[in-house]
Amino acid sequence: MIKKSQKLNKLLSIFALLLAITLLFVVTVGCNPPADPADPTDPTNPTNPTDPADPTDPIDPTNPADPNDGAEVYALADGVTVEYLAEPFESGEDYIDDNRMGVTQEAHDYQPFAISWDGSVPPYTVEFSTDGADSDIFVTDETSLSPGVLLPDAEYSARVTDGQGGVIVEKKFRTEKGVRWITAREDLYGAGASNVRDLGGWSAGDKHTAYGKIYRGSKLTASSSSTAAGYDYSNRVLAERLGLKTEIDLRGARDDGGQTESPVEGCGYLKAPITGYTSIYSSEVYDDSVYYDEDSPTSFKAIFDLLADESNYPIYFHCRVGKDRTGTLAYLIGAVLGVSYEDLTRDFELSSLTKAGRAMRTRGFNYYDHSNEYVGYESRAWEKMHEIMMQEYSTDGTLGSAAANYLTSFCGVSQASLDSLKAIMLV
């Protein structure tokens, strides 16, 4: 009896051991399934792009074999620009005021993106290429470079080769949508063209304004020999990087320095002086007019006739600092294209983020005629310009109809010219 009991106990022990082994195997397999070669989150997958041990980790900007190229996205505007544009429209001016923009004259008119590499055989050739645009090629002895002219919302390939032709970096990346500042000065706080930006990227109904067509900014000529080198650098950027074909100068005799041709190599030149803001309206439509600039209709007709011819593009227009007269023309161009008043105001106020000084929707303006005689002060100049435009010229309650009516009925611009501008600038 005892022998039978001992034999039974031994069999039960063997069964229990086998059962324990079976349960352990099931649990182990259940917690550690075989690696799915298509599972991108599997940390044991040797092809996992997020595996920290993966030699093609996408955070390595120098890895030429990175299979995740294109995943990295870079901003072409600094944090201050992005913060201002993210403000609700009603509080945009408050942001400028609270941050003392236009008073400290900090310079935010540049592209912060830069690429760097390790190398010991200069000179280095750096090429940025994207679909639909010519490649930008730079040669430098440094081991970093900020191109300053990249297009927003574009996919780029970057390639760096050393002085012996060896490839150091091959990299793909994307740029964010948004404002396209142009880095037009070698020294951000030095001499040269400032407040330079593209009119592209703004919503216009179901389309948007095209990049690379029209630029706005400050004057392109130096006031003294001490600043000439800075402006020479800016003009090379406009000629070589932007391919500028036409300069529109909105200054008159009082402050144009006697300029009669463009300092940009191979660039045409149009002198079309205006004073801007409410001075574009005659006393017939603006009873409380402080000053009416009689050159306005003639200048606007010449400008919009030029804008209607695509062979004149790319185009750069400016006054002295690229804020008031330049802002007025940008308002009319954008309005014709269908950009909202809110976005046109945002574009206007971006000048506050540069050395141009404050550009604010409620700011007043001192008028001087073309002989530099003071003729009066207009309060809320930007807002009042818009109010009169809508009250006197809008035929259907839209800004687009108002600007078109003003330009055709008062300035003599043809509807065909406005249609051509739209065809060129809207995508």
pLDDT at 329: 98
The single residue listed with the structure tokens 């440094």 is 142
With a pLDDT cut of 70, the percent of the chain lying above it is 83
- Please, what sign has the CA dihedral across residues 41, 43, 48, 50? positive
Over the stretch 227-258, which tens digit does the pLDDT of each residue have? Answer: 999 999 999 999 999 999 999 999 999 999 99
Three-state DSSP state, 185: coil
pLDDT at 68: 40
Q: Which of 249, 255, 251 is nearest to 268 (CA)?
A: 249
The mean of the pLDDT values for the chain is 86
| 292 pLDDT more than 80 | yes
pLDDT at 277: 98
pLDDT at 52: 31
| 416 pLDDT more than 60 | yes
Number of C-beta neighbours around residue 383 at 10 A: 16
- CATH class of the domain at 100-110+182-425: alpha beta
How deeply is 156 buried, as exposed, middle or buried, from its count of CB atoms within 10 A (0-12, 13-18, 19+)? buried
Over the stretch 68-118, which tens digit does the pLDDT of each residue have? Answer: 444 699 999 999 999 999 999 999 999 999 998 988 878 999 999 999 999
Domains of the chain by residue range: 57-76+112-176, 100-110+182-425
pLDDT at 104: 82
Mean pLDDT, residues 315-331 taken together: 98
- Whole-model pTM: value is 0.83
Instruction: Return the H-helix or E-strand segment holding 401.
Output: helix 399-405
Phi-psi region of 294 (alpha: psi -120 to 50; beta: other; left: phi over 0): alpha
| 360 pLDDT more than 50 | yes
pLDDT at 211: 97
Mean pLDDT, residues 312-328 taken together: 98
Mean pLDDT, residues 52-81 taken together: 54
Confidence grade of residue 323 (pLDDT, cut at 50, 70, 90): very high
Mean pLDDT, residues 153-177 taken together: 96
Three-state DSSP state, 58: coil
pLDDT at 14: 46
Mean pLDDT, residues 268-280 taken together: 98
At CA 204, angle to CA 200 and CA 209, rounded to 5? 20
Q: Pick one of 2.60.40.10, 2.60.40.2480, 2.60.40.1180, 1.10.10.60 as the CATH number of 57-76+112-176.
A: 2.60.40.10
